Chain A
Amino acid sequence: MIAAFNRWWAGCAGCALALLLLATPARAVQPDEMLADPVLEARARAISREIRCPVCQGESIDDSNAPISRDLRIIIRERLVAGDTDREVVDYIVARYGEFVLFNPRPEGSNLILWLAGPVLFLVGVGVAVTAARRRKAPEATLSEAEEARLRELLKE
């Protein structure tokens, strides 16, 4: 376990740097990177919001101002201008940087656990609750006809 922590810790060497990077988000997407075509630019923004900056802590390349994020933002725009679909652009980046850069893990393979855990637990919870409610239906003392009438009378007052 300790080894694992250490590995994570080592992976976090840029922690202090990350805070520093976070501090100047105003340098994220630069005006000179942006495409003139608003439709293409909107697609580029949407894609870059889902791509994680490879050297930062949990920032998308859209928010990050690390040089590599700028490069990735420019690559995305180049691919889009070249006529790639959104999926092709993302595949292009994943092929080079691995699935680590995907903020939205693809529901494939073991990631299905991640995606399905919530819905499955929800169904289990509903199932348990309903069975418990059914089982609880112990013989409940119901009111007799006369009692019902008396109750209605009382409520009317």
Chain B
Amino acid sequence: MIVEFGHFALILALMVALVQSTLPLWGAQRGDARLMALAEPAALMQLVLVAVSFAVLTWAFVVSDFSLAVVVANSHTDKPMLYKVAGVWGNHEGSLLLWVLILAVYGAAVALFGGNLPARLKARVLAVQGMIGVAFLLFMLLTSNPFWRLAAPPLNGQDLNPLLQDPGLAFHPPFLYLGYVGLSIAYSFAVAALIEGRVDAAWGRWVRPWTLAAWIFLTIGIALGSWWAYYELGWGGFWFWDPVENASFMPWLLAAALLHSAIVVEKRESLKAWTILLAIMAFGFSLIGTFIVRSGVITSVHAFANDPERGVFILMILAVFTGGALMLFALRAGVMEAKGVFALVSRESALVANNIILAVSAFVVFIGTIWPLVAELLLGRTLSVGEPFFNAAFTPFMVALAVILPPGAMLAWKRGALGRSLRALLPALVLALALGALAWAMQTNRTALGPIGVVLGAWVLFGALTDLWSRTGREGVGTRMARLTRLPRADWGKAVAHGGLGITIFAVSAMLAWKIEDIRVVQVGETFPLGTYEVRLDDVREVEGPNYVSTMGFMTVTRNGALVARLQPEKRVYPVAGMPTTEAAIDYGLLRDVYLVLGDRQQSGGWAVRSYIEPFANWLWAGSILMALGGLLSLSDRRYRVAAGARKVPLGVPAE
């Protein structure tokens, strides 16, 4: 009965979404305040209904209601509670429900916190948001209904994929969806502005926080996924250029571009048409991501629910929303006159360069991802595009981005002097080059990758610090230090996010360049060298887990005889899913991780052991967290907290 209640709530939510997407739009066109006012309660009602539906599905997972097809396919009574709950979104149907729930949350947030939006714009934004809701609710009810009952419920379920039974992965999808779906708000604002035919500084200010929030969530979600891959997949890789990873990376790149171009709209009323286009593309790529993950068109290691019928449905959603918005854009883009003119050397131009690089790099990822499909459908060639291509084709753009970031971020608006910002950055440049030289001298293998990564990362990091310091004026150090604490949070956010990017760049190249790998057969009791460490395999034992059986190696890591860590790498078998997994054992450290993996028993009696030294692995996660934190600081800036609706008069924002 409760399950039917959830199902019914979902159908009601569709009805409400239909109302939300039509009447307010019509009202805005006719200037009917009553119809426009309908958008707000509709958005709130939709949230309540979808939340009820989601709660019911969660309840079904928690009590293991095996009359539901999704619960049978993805749960088991022995599964720990955390993963019973995470199982709700660990499958196609449930994750779609989460998608729609987050969509409703964002819609309700606009209804609640958009008090200062002009009534007409608000009605239109919520209506467009409602349309997206209609599309996805229809998709769910017609092709992927999570409330499908089984006529003959089995006694127990088939368990969640053991690889997904992991805390890192339990929270990875919700963050990603918060990011993907957050971009729908930017999209709705863009379409509403196109219908309205007006984009001004205030529009930029309304759109930016939503984009920023979406980008923060995407950053966290991608970092979580990458961290999971690092410790769970068992060979210390953190990024595989897999289609599904690319699907989350493209919206991230475009959201990063969008939140930079929205600054130009907000502060200089320029780049309007481009910003609108970016907002449409960013959400379009979120939909493409959904399509890639769920259609099975592009084969991937973690595509779930591959189904041509669903694929076609998502393709239709994609075509309607992206195509429709682009058509509207083509009709209306001419209306958007740029107000602020700027010289070739200016902050605006630097941000344009940032946008070109980010958009083109997103396009490179896109073409690399779909090329196998295009080649097969149109050219009749079956081929693959993998890591080597992306490394070669994508990296140059990131290098260019890192090179121009520090001087670009310090240029003055409207008309800047490149010489001045370069002079200010001279210490940062010298320091970066010195660190690069040091890395070159210290490294044992002669790769250029490591030192170049050090130079670029340090250049971006110290550049960000120089930028922050330069905002404090020209007085004595004491005064400037005091001023540092009073700088707007947006300035801090910019410095922290850019610094985080620098650290990430450094960590990625360090991990690629200086990783040490060792593969060998080890007898129990044997000691082998690993870099500057010695590793000993003390014992291998069978251990029983809650819903798995584990073969556990007991290993000791020492350095010059002193104990560093005791590690227990495992091989697990989950009997219900009939699936083995490897659990690497990692000793996390500031400068390196020691990463041990237990392999198979050899005929000679020993065990295959793979061990890695992963240099600066923690810096990668730290860099990602800093980027997200920078976004958060920027989001909490006074100008977004104080009534953002104060039209074009900037509130407490230095004109720069």
A positions within 8 Å CB-CB of B: 1-2, 4-6, 8-9, 11-12, 15, 18-20, 22-32, 34, 49-50, 52, 57-60, 63, 98-105, 110-111, 114-115, 117-118, 121-122, 125-126, 129-130, 133-134, 136-138, 140
Contact = CB atoms under 8 A, between A and B. Distances in A.
A69 to B, nearest CB: 14
Nearest to A118: B364
B112 to A, nearest CB: 39
B407 interface: no
A58 B383 contact: no
Interface stretch (B171-179, B203-211, B559-567, B597-605): B597-605
A110 B384 CA distance: 13
Contact of B582 (A5, A26, A100): A26
Given A12-B296, A23-B580, A58-B384, 8 more contacts: A5-B297, A8-B296, A9-B296, A103-B384, A105-B371, A114-B389, A130-B344, A136-B338
Contacts of A28: 235
A23 B243 CA distance: 18
A22 to B, nearest CB: 5
A54 B384 CA distance: 10
B438 to A, nearest CB: 26
B373 interface: yes
Contacts of A27: 599-600, 608
B381 A99 contact: yes
Nearest to B382: A100
The 5 closest A-B pairs by CB, nearest first: A103-B386, A104-B388, A5-B308, A118-B364, A125-B356
B487 to A, nearest CB: 20
Contacts of B356: 122, 125-126, 129
A67 to B, nearest CB: 14
A137 B377 CA distance: 46
B388 A50 contact: yes
Interface of B: 161-163, 233-235, 240, 242-243, 295-303, 306-308, 311-312, 338, 341-344, 349, 352-353, 356-357, 359-361, 363-364, 367-368, 371, 373, 375-377, 379, 381-389, 392-393, 397, 519-521, 571, 579-582, 597-600, 602, 608, 610
B575 to A, nearest CB: 14
Contacts of A31: 519-521, 602, 608
Contact of A118 (B303, B367, B384): B367
A8 B162 CA distance: 26
Contacts of B392: 104
Contacts of B382: 98-100
B234 A25 contact: yes
20 contacts: A2-B312, A5-B295, A8-B298, A15-B296, A19-B301, A23-B582, A26-B598, A31-B608, A49-B388, A50-B388, A58-B301, A98-B382, A101-B384, A103-B386, A104-B386, A104-B392, A114-B368, A122-B357, A122-B397, A126-B356
A138 B342 CA distance: 10
Given A6-B308, A23-B579, A122-B397, A114 B371 contact: yes
A19 B598 CA distance: 19
Give the interface centre of A6, A31, A49, A101 by most chain B CB atoms within 10 Å: A31
Contacts of A12: 296, 299, 306
A102 B382 CA distance: 10
Contacts of B240: 58
A88 B192 CA distance: 58
Contacts of B598: 26
A115 to B, nearest CB: 7
Give the interface centre of A52, A63, A104 by most chain B CB atoms within 10 Å: A104
A37 B387 CA distance: 26
A102 B389 CA distance: 10
B606 to A, nearest CB: 9
B299 A8 contact: yes
Given A110-B379, A114-B368, A129-B352, A103 B387 contact: yes
A129 B3 CA distance: 55
Contacts of B385: 103, 105, 114
A137 B301 CA distance: 51
Given A9-B308, A104-B389, A133-B349, A19 B161 contact: yes
A126 B10 CA distance: 48
B388 A103 contact: yes
Contacts of A24: 571, 580-582
Nearest to A33: B519
B386 A26 contact: no
Contacts of B608: 26-27, 30-31
A36 to B, nearest CB: 12
A151 to B, nearest CB: 14
A63 B307 CA distance: 27
Nearest to A99: B383
B234 A118 contact: no
Contact of B363 (A50, A118, A136): A118
A9 B305 CA distance: 11
A71 B507 CA distance: 35
A15 B338 CA distance: 50
A103 B384 CA distance: 5
B300 to A, nearest CB: 6
Nearest to B363: A121
A34 B628 CA distance: 42
Contacts of B373: 8
A31 B343 CA distance: 61
B384 A52 contact: yes
Give the interface centre of B297, B301, B357, B602 by most chain A CB atoms within 10 Å: B301
Contacts of A1: 312
A72 B235 CA distance: 20
Given A1-B312, A24-B582, A118-B393, A125 B302 contact: no
A60 B312 contact: no
B303 A15 contact: yes
Contacts of A98: 382
A80 B602 CA distance: 26
Contacts of A50: 386, 388
B341 A136 contact: yes
Given A6-B308, A111-B383, A58 B243 contact: yes
Contact of B299 (A11, A104, A140): A11
B535 to A, nearest CB: 15
Nearest to A28: B235
Contacts of A110: 375, 379, 381
